[in-house]
Amino acid sequence: MLNVTFGWLWISLGFLTGLLLGLGFHKAEFLGGYASLRRRMVRLGHIACVMLGVLNILYALTVDQATLSPFERWATSVTFVLGGFTMPLVCWLTAWKTPFRHLFFIPVASLLYAGITLSIGLVRACVSA
């Protein structure tokens, strides 16, 4: 239930940030112009909310098909949420102050762990079927 709830909250946050971005996108120099790092990071954070929200919901719909230990199930759930929370946050922090880009390892490592662990659990389920 954690991942479904987080997923829908994050999709809604993505829609809200899209609304806020939409208020200024028509201005050529909005957030430094179309190609600026600031504008790209804000846009990436916005779409990360939506897509990582969807990914959390997909995890919740898929996890019962995987062969995972109780710890693996808990860890994948938590790391999907952690990655989903920290990816847009790091994007927006990077848009504010560029040195925050060094924190991208946090969401990337979280999501990589979750994706690989779930994939292994699904392969285990296929092999044992």
pLDDT digits (tens, 9 = 90+) for 91-122: 999 999 999 999 999 999 999 999 999 999 99
Q: pTM for the full model?
A: 0.91
Residue 21 pLDDT greater than 90, yes or no = no
DSSP letters along 56-102, please?
HHHHHHHGGGS---HHHHHHHHHHHHHHHHHHHHHHHHHHH-GGGGG
Considering its fold, how many domains does the chain have in total?
1
Q: Is the dihedral of CA 125, 126, 127, 129 positive or negative?
A: positive
Task: Look up the domain containing 28 and give its range.
Answer: 2-128
